[in-house]
């Protein structure tokens, strides 16, 4: 405790908590997940006047709108479900997809390897289904901006729908329906984050666009692609700390007499390569 300052800090925290509580009620138009006894998740977008039907049972959406996050509801024949606001990773895994999304384990790693921070200016390509974009938007916060390049109009539209359903009104996203290989319009950006097949074609543009000390990051499924992009980064002469990693996450089965790794895991998704731009 530091002198008289401690009580002020406590008041600030309690004000924050009560503000958050107001937000924790389900609203019309919000995405929720129904959780059954076995922990399986069923997504639903709440819409006043509609009825949720499940295996011959029903519940009006209006019985859920206005309830608290984590509430238990009973359907017409007695089945009970817990209703939750999905976490970002739960939402991503159940949302409609155009392009393949980046899995949460890799998104987590991208945020820390790419050092995405509040108020950062981030250029991203492509937007795909918007999974990574949502995590970037959250990390840069309202004072930051994500500028997302995407060549396919249908993916851009789907991604915007996905982002809006989870985030509501989004003021920190700019979408450019352009090929990033033709150039990056923004200068002095903090991070360039790429999830597309030929990131080496973007390296010269990233050099122009990134500020000194900025970070280039790309996510690639095969090591031959990694080798090509690393060569391009080295040949450009503008980057140091060129590093590549993959992220393996193994879940565990924990029961009374059986505590062991799960039998199945996602073995391979992609490699993350990062590099730091410096003045030469
Ligand atoms: N990271 C996304 C998935 C991206 S899939 C997610 O988590 O949901 C790759 C995307 O890059 C596709 O939408 C594809 O249309 C786009 N793309 C491929 N090449 C591109 C280019 N040169 N410029 C802009 N977008 C590109």
Residue 249: its pLDDT value, please? 96
**Rounded Cα distance, 41 and 85, in Å:** 11
What spacing in Å lies between the alpha carbon of 148 and ligand 1's midpoint?
Answer: 9
Report CA(246)–ligand 1 centroid distance (Å). 20
pLDDT tens for each residue of the chain, 280 residues long: 444 454 544 444 444 444 444 578 999 999 999 999 999 999 999 999 999 999 999 999 999 999 999 999 999 999 999 999 999 999 999 998 878 889 999 999 999 999 999 999 999 999 999 999 999 999 999 999 999 999 999 999 999 999 999 998 899 999 999 999 999 999 999 999 999 999 999 999 999 999 999 999 999 999 999 999 999 999 999 999 999 999 999 999 999 999 999 999 999 999 999 999 999 8
Three-state DSSP class for 118? Answer: coil
Q: Is 151 in the pocket of ligand 1 (CB under 6 A)?
A: yes
User: For residues 278 and 86, what is the distance between their CA atoms, to the nearest angstrom?
Assistant: 40
In contact, 192 and 214? CB cutoff 8 Å: yes
pLDDT score, position 1: 41
- pLDDT value for 157: 96
Nearest CA to ligand 1 atom 14: 126
Q: What pTM was computed for the model?
A: 0.91
| 249 token code pair | 């996450």
Q: Which long-range contacts (CB under 8 A, 24 or more apart) does 134-139 make?
A: 134/88, 134/91, 134/92, 134/162, 134/163, 134/166, 134/167, 135/88, 135/107, 135/110, 135/111, 136/111, 136/193, 137/163, 137/167, 137/170, 137/172, 137/173, 138/88, 139/111
């Amino acid at each position: 405790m530091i002198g008289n300052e401690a009580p002020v800090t406590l008041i600030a925290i309690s004000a924050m908590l009560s503000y958050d509580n107001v937000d924790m009620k389900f609203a019309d138009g919000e995405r929720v997940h129904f959780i059954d006894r076995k922990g399986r998740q069923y997504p639903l977008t709440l819409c006043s006047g509609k009825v949720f039907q499940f295996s011959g049972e029903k519940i009006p959406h209006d019985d859920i709108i206005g309830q608290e996050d984590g509430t238990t509801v009973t359907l017409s024949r007695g089945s009970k479900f817990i209703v939750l606001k999905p976490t970002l990773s739960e939402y991503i895994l159940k949302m409609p997809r155009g392009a393949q999304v980046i899995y949460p384990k890799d998104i987590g790693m991208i945020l820390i390897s790419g050092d995405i921070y509040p108020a950062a200016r981030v250029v991203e390509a492509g937007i795909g289904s918007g999974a990574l974009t949502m995590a970037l938007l959250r990390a840069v916060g309202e004072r930051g901006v994500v500028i997302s390049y995407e060549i396919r109009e249908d993916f851009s539209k789907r991604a915007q729908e996905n982002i809006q359903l989870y985030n509501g009104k989004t003021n920190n996203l700019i979408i450019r329906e352009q090929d990033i290989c033709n150039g990056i319009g923004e200068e002095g950006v903090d991070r360039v984050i790429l999830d597309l097949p030929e990131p080496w074609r973007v390296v010269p543009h990233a050099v122009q666009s990134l500020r000194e000390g900025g970070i280039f990051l790309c996510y690639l499924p095969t090591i031959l692609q990694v080798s090509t992009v690393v060569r391009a980064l080295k040949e450009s002469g503008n980057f140091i700390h060129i590093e590549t990693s993959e992220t393996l996450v193994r879940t565990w089965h924990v029961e009374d007499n059986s505590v062991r790794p799960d039998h199945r895991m996602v073995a391979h998704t992609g490699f993350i390569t990062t590099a730091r731009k410096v003045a030469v």
